[in-house]
Every structure is written in C-alpha cells, then in structure tokens.
Amino acid sequence: MSVLTTFVFCVLWTIFFNLEDATSTHCGYRVKNYLPTISTAVGNYPVQRFIWTSVIIAHTPIRLIVIGIYYQYYTNIIKPSLYWCVVLLRFLSTAEICSLIVLSIFTSSNYYSIHEKSFGCFICSSELNMLISSILLKEGRMTKTVMTKLEVHSLKCKIYCTIFNMISFTIAGYCFLRHNAYCESGVYSVFALFEYFIVLSNMAFHLTAVWDLASISLVVDDNLNLKYR
C-alpha cells in the first residue's frame, strides 16, 4: 500500500467513523469543525494508527536507498563548490524520514511533547529540503551538464510544489493560531485542509524522483552490496 493511499484511507475512515470525536478541540463541541487533523486521523485510533505506522516503517528502507541514489545524482551534476549543499540535503532528507517515523509512533494524544518536537523537525527539514533542492537544481548545476526534458519537467514540478507547500504552511499556521485565540467555527477545519495540502505537495515533490533518477540503475552484486550506475 502506498503512503498516499494510506493517508487518504486514514482521513476518510476518521471522517466516516470518528468525526465528532476527531474534530473536538480545547474549544469544546460548541465550536463546529468538519475535518480531522492529520495527527488525529493517523494517530488517535487503533485501526488508522496501525496501518499508517506500518506503511511508514515499511517504506523507510526504500526512501533511504533513494537518498543514497540522489546523493550520487547530485554529485554528478552540481558544482564542486556546492557539494556542502549536497551533504546538507542528505542530512535534511534523513532527518525528514526519521522525524516522520517518530511522530507516527509517538502520537499527539499519548506523547504530545515528543510528537510536537518531531513534527516541528519534520516541517523544518522538509521545507528546507524542498527549497534548497529546487534552488540547487536550478542555479547550482555545472555548466557542462545539459538538462533532459524529464529533468526540466521535474524541476518545474519541484518549484510549483515548493511554492504551494510554503503557501499552505503559512495559511495553516495562521488558522492554527487564530483557532487557538478565538475558537471560531470552521477555522480548525481550514487548518486541517491546508495541512493536507502540505503533506500532498510534499509527496508530489518526492515523486519527481521518478524523472530525476530515470537513467540510474540500482544493482545488487554477489556480496549483496548496493551499487548505483
């Protein structure tokens, strides 16, 4: 099962079977809301929590392999003077994955402090990863490298996803603060909606790897070592 499918399932399942409880906040039931937050949808109920956590953990080895492939990809096309950015991207990508695992295991309902810190780490690492990747691929290439049509398309999608992600994050942050301050009906649902957009645009950004890495092969040798070529 893909992460996207799992995400949609958890949100819809929560809407259909746990909506009233999932949309209650510190404001009480008098403030009407219509959408659960992601933390609630994937972490507060046994079925959703088990499926979400299992899928995230199952996808982790693949994502770590992709980070390694991207590292080679970047070192082949990025100016040597900017290799420190490539190392930084590898760190940010790893931090993004690790923080996602932690916030999935330690739910907001049971371990709020850990969940809050890991969520902050996830947001910071993912936002920086998207922004730096887009800038590096646009401005940091060696002059001798020529972008393929797939790479051009991938970069455009990365830039669109990054801009959309940051706008969504800004709106979500505003709605979260406004809800906590004024307890207005529907505001928390707008926060939840733009939280969905943050996650979906992040997923779309990472899916562009299909175009970036189209010409790279992953080989397992006789000693079970992974090699890229």
pLDDT digits (tens, 9 = 90+) for 180-219: 999 999 999 999 999 999 999 999 999 999 999 887 776 6
Q: Is residue 130 pLDDT above 90, yes or no?
A: yes
pLDDT digits (tens, 9 = 90+) for 161-187: 999 999 999 999 999 999 999 999 999
Query: How far, in Å, CA of 141 to CA of 120, rounded?
Result: 31
Give me the pLDDT at residue 1, please: 73
Grade residue 228 by pLDDT with cuts at 50, 70 and 90: low
pLDDT digits (tens, 9 = 90+) for 53-74: 999 999 999 999 999 999 989 9
188: enclosing H helix or E strand: helix 187-207
Which of residues 229 and 178 earns the better pLDDT score? 178
Residues of the chain above pLDDT 90, percent:
78
- For the chain, what is the mean pLDDT? 92
Which of residues 225 and 121 earns the better pLDDT score? 121
Give me the pLDDT at residue 26, please: 81
Which of residues 25 and 48 earns the better pLDDT score? 48
Give me the pLDDT at residue 215, please: 79
Grade residue 25 by pLDDT with cuts at 50, 70 and 90: confident
Mean pLDDT of 109-125: 93
pTM of the model: 0.92
Buried b (16+ CB within 10 A) or exposed e, 29-63: eebebebbbbbbbbbbbeebbebbbebbeebeeeb
* The two three-digit tokens of residue 96, written as one number: 């993004």
User: Which residues partner with 227 through β-bridges?
Assistant: 219
Give me the pLDDT at residue 201, please: 98
For residue 223, the SS3 value is coil
Give me the pLDDT at residue 31, please: 81
DSSP per residue, 61-97: HHHHHHHHHHHHHHHHHB-GGGHHHHHHHHHHHHHHH
Mean pLDDT of 84-90: 97
Give me the pLDDT at residue 101, please: 96
- Helical spans, DSSP H, in 106-148: 112-139
Grade residue 30 by pLDDT with cuts at 50, 70 and 90: confident
